[in-house]
């Protein structure tokens, strides 16, 4: 795709990955983009590169504007390989005067590519760099989501180049938020937050405070994945504020795996109970719902209810996978509970409850078990269990 001018003399020169469907365990049914930005100033500067297989496309995009060897500076906001995989070949071609990165970024570049010969220039938060007419202000964002991560702010343009922050995995021919359906865009942004940034929510809160204190005026946010926030930067900033506060809504996510549909029947009856008490719920059968989509639903839910049949004295493998994934992302402010059908030993509910407690979730009700197939009375018990949990949820 040809470069797109996003601000005066600032160009998107990234690439679109239409085909990726799995991003280290996060499902990406709509693909993604790896965004890079070229600033044409006295010092021509490239912000970020792209994943290794796309290096030729990046260089072609740059060539549509200028000979890559005329680039003076390269800024590496983040070293994860979706943004730096092409950097050895790209730097060999460009031969820049300087490569700007954080101190952690320099370490990470050395640990990935083992190139001592690159002209590293370490920068830190608050430091500025004049490109000629434009000034870059660096803002380290450690652990958002890697130790090396930083943002670059173009002061005159009020443009925040935000690395992974505010990104979305969505491959589109459009480049700006106002060119696509905003509701779909926000869904992709929330999925990104829930699956990449949720565990760093306290740091997101701190960063938003720092941006406010520094009085940074933000007219546009250009992330390294997905659409650029041209018309509604305040909308994504507000959403990040809400998501990072992890304020629970009157919503429950019921995820489960089932052997012979008994646990599924329990899940449906629990859903009925939740609804009767005015709680919105989502049923997620883990055989057909990807862990990253379940996580997206959990983002604003107040209750997480987990169902598992007992299999070989343990829980179902799909439930174990989901619990492991969820634990890493550290959702907060949730009440929780476990349920499931069993045949003779019935350990799953106890094991799931222990896993939820380990995640510091508040167990709203003791685990609920049903032997083999649930009777009408058993299902009534599930409805009541759902109602009791609903009553533990605040008003959202």
Three-state SS for 110? helix
The minimum distance between CB 27 and ligand FEO, in angstroms, equals 15
Q: Which is nearer to ligand FEO, 55 or 134 (CB)?
A: 55
The minimum distance between CB 152 and ligand FEO, in angstroms, equals 15
> Among the options 48, 148, 164, 378, which is catalytic?
164
Catalytic residue status for 112 = no
Catalytic residue status for 164 = yes
The minimum distance between CB 103 and ligand FEO, in angstroms, equals 18
The minimum distance between CB 299 and ligand FEO, in angstroms, equals 19
Chain residues binding ligand FEO by CB under 6 A are: 78, 80, 82-83, 145-146, 164, 224-225
Distance from C-alpha of 36 to C-alpha of 225, rounded to nearest angstrom:
9
Distances (CA, A) of 108 to 116, 163, 164, 293: 12, 16, 16, 30
Distance from C-alpha of 28 to C-alpha of 168, rounded to nearest angstrom:
10
**Closest Cα partner for 77 from 40, 130, 119, 123?**
123
The minimum distance between CB 225 and ligand FEO, in angstroms, equals 6
Q: Which is nearer to ligand FEO, 80 or 264 (CB)?
A: 80
Q: Which is nearer to ligand FEO, 80 or 293 (CB)?
A: 80
Closest residue to ligand FEO, based on beta-carbon distance: 80
Catalytic residue status for 225 = yes
Catalytic residue status for 24 = yes
Catalytic residue status for 80 = yes
Conformational region of residue 156, where left means phi above 0, alpha means psi within -120 to 50, and beta covers everything else: alpha
Catalytic residue status for 83 = no
> Among the options 41, 73, 78, 378, which is catalytic?
78
Three-state SS for 113? helix
Pairing verdict, β 98-101 and 73-75:
parallel
Q: Which is nearer to ligand FEO, 46 or 315 (CB)?
A: 46
> Among the options 26, 34, 225, 264, which is catalytic?
225
Residues facing residue 37 across a β-bridge: 12, 47
Distance from C-alpha of 349 to C-alpha of 341, rounded to nearest angstrom:
9
Catalytic residue status for 78 = yes
Q: Which is nearer to ligand FEO, 47 or 281 (CB)?
A: 47
Is the Cβ–Cβ distance between 77 and 223 less than 8 Å? no
Catalytic residue status for 72 = no
Is the Cβ–Cβ distance between 244 and 356 less than 8 Å? no
Catalytic (active-site) positions: 24, 78, 80, 82, 145, 164, 192, 225
């Amino acid at each position: 795709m040809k470069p797109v001018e996003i601000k005066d003399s600032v160009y998107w020169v990234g690439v679109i990955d239409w085909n990726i469907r799995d991003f280290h365990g996060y499902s990406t049914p709509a693909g993604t983009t790896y965004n890079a930005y070229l600033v044409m100033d006295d010092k021509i500067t490239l912000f970020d590169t792209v994943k290794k297989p796309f290096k030729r496309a990046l260089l072609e995009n740059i060539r549509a504007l200028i000979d890559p060897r005329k680039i003076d500076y390269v800024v590496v906001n983040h070293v994860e390989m979706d943004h730096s995989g092409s950097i050895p070949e790209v730097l060999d071609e460009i031969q820049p005067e300087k490569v700007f990165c954080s101190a952690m970024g320099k370490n990470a570049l050395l640990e990935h590519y083992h190139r001592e010969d690159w002209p590293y220039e370490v920068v830190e938060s608050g430091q500025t760099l004049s490109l000629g007419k434009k000034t870059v202000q660096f803002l380290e964002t450690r652990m958002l989501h890697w130790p090396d991560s930083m943002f670059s702010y173009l002061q005159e343009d009020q443009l925040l180049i935000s690395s992974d922050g505010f990104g979305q995995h969505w491959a589109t021919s459009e480049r700006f938020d106002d060119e696509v359906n905003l509701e779909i865009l926000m869904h992709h942004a929330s999925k990104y937050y829930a699956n990449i940034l949720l565990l760093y929510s306290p740091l997101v809160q701190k960063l938003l405070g720092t941006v406010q204190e520094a009085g940074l005026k933000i007219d546009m946010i250009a992330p390294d994945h997905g659409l650029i926030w041209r018309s509604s930067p305040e909308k994504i900033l507000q959403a990040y504020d809400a998501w990072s506060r992890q304020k629970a809504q009157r919503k429950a996510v019921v995820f489960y795996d089932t052997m012979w549909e008994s646990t599924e029947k329990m899940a449906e009856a629990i859903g009925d109970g939740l609804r009767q008490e005015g709680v919105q719920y989502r049923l997620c059968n883990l055989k057909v719902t990807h862990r990253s989509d379940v996580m997206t639903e959990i983002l604003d839910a107040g209750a997480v209810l987990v169902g598992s049949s007992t299999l070989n004295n343990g829980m179902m493998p799909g439930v174990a996978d989901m619990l492991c994934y969820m634990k890493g992302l550290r959702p907060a402010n949730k009440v929780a509970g476990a349920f499931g059908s069993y045949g003779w030993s019935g350990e799953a509910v106890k094991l799931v409850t222990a896993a939820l407690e380990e995640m510091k979730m508040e167990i709203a009700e003791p685990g609920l078990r049903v032997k083999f197939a649930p009777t009408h009375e058993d299902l009534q018990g599930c409805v009541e269990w759902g109602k009791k949990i609903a009553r533990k949820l605040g008003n959202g």
